[in-house]
């Protein structure tokens, strides 16, 4: 039986990767003022920047509801597929719980909590898609992907903490101090939760390269299949320098994939955020 791979929109996979691996996307909702729009379909990251600039407020996001998941699951079940659905960490959203509720009423639907976000989740989704292409069953894919989740290393360095402040994730005093000192915080995903790590200082271009070096230097525990460079509104030059740094410090990746983060990461972190995301052996 064919297995259909589905993910919520927080996986931040590019349209090219979604098409290549035949992945269906269930959009989250983005609320800006009195408008509720579907992530990636009706609203893009650029719309969020415009909204914040005009209003000084951040949009909020909400999970797909039970009916959304039921519709997506039924579509592929009706076509004779088993379904494996991937969600942003259950600590970040009710998306996982809603998907599980819909799956509980349907035979042949398996839900995976990626314990991650953005292309941290995307790495798990692509692994699932590769297993599906190899002819693995939905149950086998779910088990293998769940075993992989604690091997994903996901982190980002943030240019400005203005968005974190607007979103209530740091105090006004901390925001003022960080801006005065030009601090660039590291945000890491650990045990399915976002946690603050090292605080870098200096220009964002310099900080990003130092961050990449910290993550990749002298490592022999990295799976060299693929690595993501995922960012929000970083320059082409910055991304190119990161790619060069990866090749310098950790040569041999089969794929170095660049993606632009979607509305969820954009809402939390703002422009100038960049992460390198990969899997440990």
Mean pLDDT comparison of 50-59, 106-115, 169-178, highest-scoring range: 106-115
pLDDT at 175: 38
**pLDDT higher than 70, residue 25:** yes
- In the chain, CATH 3.40.50.10440 covers 3-28+63-149
**pLDDT higher than 80, residue 243:** yes
**Three-state secondary structure readout of 91-138:** CCCCHHHHHHHHHHCCCCEEEEECCCCHHHHHHHHHHHHHHHHCCCCH
pLDDT category of residue 182 using cuts at 50, 70 and 90: low
* H or E element at residue 164: helix 162-166
**pLDDT higher than 60, residue 171:** no
| Fold (CATH) for 154-280 | Hypothetical Protein Tm841; Chain: A;domain 3 (3.30.1180)
pLDDT at 276: 98
Please give the average per-residue pLDDT across 135-148, as a whole number.
98
pLDDT at 162: 64
| Fold (CATH) for 3-28+63-149 | Rossmann fold (3.40.50)
pLDDT at 173: 34
Percent of the chain with pLDDT over 70: 92
SS3 5: strand
**pLDDT higher than 70, residue 204:** yes
Percent of the chain with pLDDT over 90: 76
Please give the average per-residue pLDDT across 97-113, as a whole number.
97
pLDDT at 44: 94
Query: What tokens appear for 223 in the block?
Result: 């799976």
């Amino acid at each position: 039986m064919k297995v259909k791979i589905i993910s919520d929109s927080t996986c931040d996979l590019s349209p090219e990767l979604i098409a290549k691996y035949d992945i269906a996307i269930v959009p989250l909702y983005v609320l800006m003022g009195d408008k509720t729009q579907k992530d990636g379909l009706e609203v893009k990251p650029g719309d969020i920047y415009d909204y914040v600039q005009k209003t000084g407020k951040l949009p909020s996001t909400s999970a797909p509801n039970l009916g959304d998941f039921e519709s997506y699951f039924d579509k592929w079940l009706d076509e004779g597929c088993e379904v494996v659905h991937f969600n942003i960490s259950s600590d970040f959203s009710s998306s996982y719980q809603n998907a599980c509720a819909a799956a509980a009423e349907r035979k042949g639907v398996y839900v995976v909590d990626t314990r991650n976000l953005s292309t941290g989740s995307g790495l798990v989704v692509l692994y699932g898609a590769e297993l599906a292409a190899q002819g693995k069953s939905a149950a086998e894919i779910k088990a293998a992907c769940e075993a992989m989740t604690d091997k994903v290393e996901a982190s980002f360095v943030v240019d400005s903490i203005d968005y974190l402040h607007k979103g209530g994730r740091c105090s006004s005093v901390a925001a003022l101090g960080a801006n005065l000192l030009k601090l660039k915080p590291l945000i890491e995903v650990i045990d399915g939760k976002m946690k603050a790590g090292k605080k870098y200082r200096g220009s964002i271009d310099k900080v990003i390269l130092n961050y990449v070096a910290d993550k990749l230097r002298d490592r022999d525990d990295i799976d060299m299949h693929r690595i993501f460079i995922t960012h929000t509104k970083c320059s082409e030059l910055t991304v190119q320098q990161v790619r060069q740094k990866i090749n310098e410090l950790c040569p041999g990746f089969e794929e170095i994939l660049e993606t632009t983060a979607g509305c969820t990461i954009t809402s939390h972190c703002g422009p100038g955020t960049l992460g390198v995301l990969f899997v440990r052996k």
